[in-house]
Amino acid sequence: MSSFMAKTDALGNPTNFEQHWYVIDASNLVVGRLAAAVATILRGKHRPQYTPHQDTGDHVIIINAEKVKFTGRKLEQKTYQSYSHYPGGQKIIPASELMDKHPERIIMSAIKRMMPRSRLGRKQLEKVKIYKGPQHPHQAQQPKEFKM
């Protein structure tokens, strides 16, 4: 069985495909299922040109981030924590509070945890744009709607 290896230019960027832009409406979607689908698109695993060591993924725009859902009692029970590495620098925020203030951070953290922890994963993570409302400033890229 042969496998596909994406061709690269002198800078190491893949040359034999073009990147697309997709818009996903997050209304009434479950956070984890949305994040899994977005991570697959960002990595390029939905394409036949997928190569694990190169960025063959597409750009994703997520709109209506405030309308995303949690299953079960996660909205009340789940917490997000950050630590500044100083004494007393640990912050624990419940999901309900984070959902009211910054719903895009909930989706971004879920996607980030599903991406590889490497330079390539961080580069691919830059291709996701998350917005609170139904408007986004990326009309010039002519994004296509991605059905979930």
In this predicted structure, what is the pLDDT of residue 17?
76
Report residues of the chain scoring pLDDT below 70: 1-4, 6, 11-13
User: Model confidence over 76-85: pLDDT tens digits?
Assistant: 999 999 999 9
Contacts of 106 (CB under 8 A, 6+ apart): 31, 65, 68, 80, 95, 98, 99
Q: 131 and 65 in contact (C-beta within 8 Å)?
A: yes
**pLDDT at residue 9, rounded to an integer:** 74
Q: Which of 15, 12, 65, 5 is nearest to 35 (CA)?
A: 65
Within the chain, what is the greatest distance between any pair of CA atoms?
Answer: 56
**In the CATH scheme, what is the code of domain 21-70+102-145?**
3.90.1180.10
**What pLDDT score was predicted for residue 137?**
97
pLDDT tens profile 34-59 = 999 999 999 999 988 888 988 989 99
Residue 2's pLDDT is 67
Which pTM does this prediction carry? Answer: 0.89
Instruction: Give the CA-trace dihedral at 114, 119, 123, 124, to 10 degrees.
Output: -30
Write down the domain spans for the chain: 21-70+102-145
User: Quick one: pLDDT at residue 80?
Assistant: 97
